[in-house]
C-alpha cells in the first residue's frame, strides 16, 4: 500500500501538483491569507477583547467546550451571538457552526431528499461539492455564472422534483468574481426554488454594514439562506447561517455536522460576537480595500490574464510549473503568494491568487508588479 502511495506522490510531483505545509516568514508580506480586514494581527482589538476578562467573566474565555451543543457544549455566548447575527441581518434566526466546511457539508444533506434537485455553480467551493455528494438529492452543475444554462436545467427538470435548491458563492474564491445575485433571485422566484448564497468571501467586505454582497445589492430579504464565515475577514473560526426559525429548528434536529461534533469553545464564540459587532462599523477598511483592489488590477494589466472584481485577484499563468516558478520568485523577494493548481482550479488555469487585506498599503505592492513583469519577460 505504501509503495502505491509513493508512486502516486511521485506522479503528483512530476505534474507540478504536489502539496506540502509551509511556514510563512514573518518579514514577508502575506498575500495568500484570507485576513481581508487585517484583523488577525490587530493587537489593539485583541487587547480590548481580553481586557473584559476577570474572575467574574472567566467562563466566557474558557478554551474547552466539553461536548456538542446538544449536550453540554451550548452556552450563553452562542445564544447572544446568534441573536446579534439575526438582528444585524433583520432575520428570524441565525445558527452558528464550527466552520464553513461544517456548514456546507451539513446544510444541503439536512434540507434535501431524494425527491429534490440541487443546482450548483460549476466553480463552487470544494466544501459545497462535498456537501452535494452527501445528499440523496439529484445534483446538477450549471456553467459558471451562466443564467441561461441554469434556467434551462430548471425548465427541463422542474416537474420531476418536489423542490429545487440553487447554491452559489457570492464572491468566488479562486476567480474573485461576483455571482449574478439579482438574476438568481428573479429565477428562484419565478420557479419557486430555494436559493442559498455562501458569503464566505463577502462577509465583512461588502454592504454598508459589511454583511456581504447580498446587502450590497439590496437582496438580504430575497435570499432564502445566507452562509457567512468568521474564518476569513473576521479573523477567527466558525461560520453561520441566516435563515428562518423553522429551518433553524430543522437543522438542529437533522444536520449531522452540527449534531455530531464538539462545539466551539466559549473564547472563540465570544470573540466572534465581539469582532462581528466591531466589523459592522468598519466602513473605512472596506473602502480602502476596494481602492487597493482596483489599483492592483490596473497594475496587472498587460501582464497575465486576471479576473473578478473583488479583493481576490488571480494571476493566471496557465500551467502548473509556471505558477510554481512565479510563486517561488515572488516569495524570494518578500511576498508570500502560493500557486493554485488543479483540482482547486480547472486544468490549464493554474495561477497565483493574490489575496488583499485592508491593512496593506499601495506602496507595499508596487515592487510585486515589477517582479511579475520581469518573470513574464524571462519566460
* The one catalytic residue among 30, 32, 34, 98: 34
Question: Tell me, what CATH number does 91's domain have?
Answer: 3.40.640.10
Grid cell for residue 234? 473576521
> Is residue 209 in a domain?
yes
Q: Please give the pLDDT value at position 118.
A: 98
Whether residue 308 sits in one domain with residue 229: no
| Secondary structure E strands in the chain | 29-30, 93-97, 116-121, 138-142, 163-169, 194-198, 225-229, 239-243, 312-318, 335-336, 339-340, 350-355
> Is residue 4 in a domain?
no
Distances 151 to 186, 198, 209 between C-alpha atoms, Å: 11, 20, 32
Would you give per-residue pLDDT tens digits along the chain (379 residues)?
A: 999 999 999 999 998 888 888 878 778 999 999 999 999 999 999 999 999 999 889 889 999 999 999 999 999 999 999 999 999 999 999 999 999 999 999 999 999 999 999 999 999 999 999 999 999 999 999 999 999 999 999 999 999 999 999 999 999 999 999 999 999 999 999 999 999 999 999 999 999 999 999 999 999 999 999 999 999 999 999 999 999 999 999 999 999 999 999 999 999 999 999 999 999 999 999 999 999 999 999 999 989 999 999 999 999 999 999 999 999 999 999 999 999 999 889 999 999 999 999 999 999 999 999 999 999 999 8
Q: Please give the pLDDT value at position 188.
A: 97
Whether residue 340 sits in one domain with residue 209: no
Distance CA 65, CA 98 (A): 12
User: Is residue 102 flagged as an active site residue?
Assistant: no
* The one catalytic residue among 75, 125, 188, 248: 125
Question: Tell me, what CATH number does 343's domain have?
Answer: 3.90.1150.10
Give the structural domain span for 369. Answer: 20-37+283-378
Task: Collapse the DSSP code of 138 into the 3-class scheme (helix H, G, I; strand E, B; otherwise coil) and give the result.
Answer: strand
355 close to 312: Cβ distance less than 8 angstroms: yes
> Is residue 13 in a domain?
no
User: Is residue 209 flagged as an active site residue?
Assistant: no
* The one catalytic residue among 173, 272, 293, 320: 173
> Is residue 48 in a domain?
no
> Is residue 45 in a domain?
no
Whether residue 351 sits in one domain with residue 246: no
Whether residue 309 sits in one domain with residue 263: no
- Given 228, 257, 279, the domain boundary residue is 279
User: Is residue 175 flagged as an active site residue?
Assistant: no
**How many independent structural domains does the chain possess?**
2
User: Is residue 84 flagged as an active site residue?
Assistant: no
User: Is residue 138 flagged as an active site residue?
Assistant: no
Whether residue 341 sits in one domain with residue 220: no
Whether residue 176 sits in one domain with residue 95: yes
Q: Please give the pLDDT value at position 359.
A: 96
User: Is residue 169 flagged as an active site residue?
Assistant: yes
Whether residue 161 sits in one domain with residue 232: yes
* The one catalytic residue among 82, 116, 121, 198: 198
Q: Please give the pLDDT value at position 76.
A: 93
> Is residue 2 in a domain?
no
Amino acid at each position: 500500500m505504501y509503495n502505491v502511495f509513493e508512486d502516486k506522490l511521485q506522479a503528483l510531483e512530476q505534474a507540478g501538483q504536489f502539496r506540502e505545509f509551509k511556514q510563512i516568514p514573518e518579514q514577508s508580506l502575506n498575500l495568500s491569507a484570507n485576513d481581508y480586514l487585517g484583523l488577525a494581527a490587530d493587537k489593539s482589538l485583541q487587547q480590548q477583547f481580553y481586557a473584559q476578562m476577570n474572575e467574574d467573566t472567566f467562563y466566557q474565555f474558557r478554551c474547552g467546550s466539553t461536548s456538542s451543543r446538544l449536550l453540554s457544549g451550548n452556552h450563553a455566548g452562542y445564544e447572544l451571538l446568534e441573536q446579534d447575527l439575526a438582528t444585524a441581518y433583520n432575520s428570524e434566526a441565525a445558527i452558528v457552526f464550527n466552520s464553513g466546511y461544517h456548514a456546507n457539508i451539513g446544510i444541503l444533506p439536512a434540507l434535501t431528499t431524494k425527491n429534490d434537485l440541487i443546482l450548483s455553480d460549476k466553480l463552487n467551493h470544494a466544501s459545497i461539492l462535498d456537501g452535494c455528494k452527501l445528499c440523496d438529492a439529484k445534483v446538477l452543475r450549471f456553467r459558471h455564472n451562466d443564467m441561461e444554462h441554469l434556467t434551462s436545467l430548471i425548465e427541463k427538470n422542474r416537474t420531476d422534483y418536489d423542490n429545487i435548491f440553487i447554491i452559489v458563492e457570492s464572491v468566488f474564491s479562486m476567480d474573485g468574481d461576483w455571482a449574478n445575485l439579482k438574476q438568481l433571485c428573479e429565477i428562484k422566484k419565478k420557479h419557486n426554488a430555494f436559493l442559498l448564497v455562501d458569503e464566505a468571501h463577502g462577509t465583512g467586505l461588502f454592504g454598508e454594514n459589511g454583511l456581504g454582497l447580498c446587502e450590497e445589492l439590496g437582496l438580504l430579504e430575497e435570499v432564502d439562506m445566507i452562509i457567512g464565515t468568521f474564518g476569513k475577514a473576521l479573523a477567527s473560526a466558525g461560520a453561520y447561517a441566516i435563515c428562518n426559525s423553522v429551518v433553524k429548528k430543522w437543522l438542529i434536529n437533522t444536520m449531522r455536522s452540527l449534531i455530531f461534533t464538539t462545539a466551539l469553545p466559549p473564547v472563540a464564540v465570544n470573540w466572534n460576537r465581539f469582532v462581528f459587532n466591531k466589523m459592522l462599523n468598519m466602513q473605512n477598511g472596506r473602502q480602502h480595500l476596494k481602492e487597493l483592489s482596483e489599483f492592483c488590477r490596473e497594475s496587472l494589466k498587460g501582464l497575465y490574464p486576471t479576473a473578478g472584481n473583488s479583493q481576490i485577484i488571480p494571476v493566471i499563468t496557465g500551467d502548473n510549473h509556471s505558477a510554481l516558478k512565479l510563486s517561488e520568485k515572488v516569495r524570494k523577494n518578500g511576498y508570500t503568494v502560493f500557486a493554485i493548481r488543479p483540482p482547486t482550479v480547472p486544468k490549464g488555469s493554474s495561477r497565483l491568487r493574490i489575496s488583499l487585506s485592508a491593512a496593506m498599503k499601495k506602496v507595499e505592492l508596487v515592487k510585486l508588479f515589477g517582479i511579475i513583469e520581469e518573470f513574464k519577460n524571462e519566460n
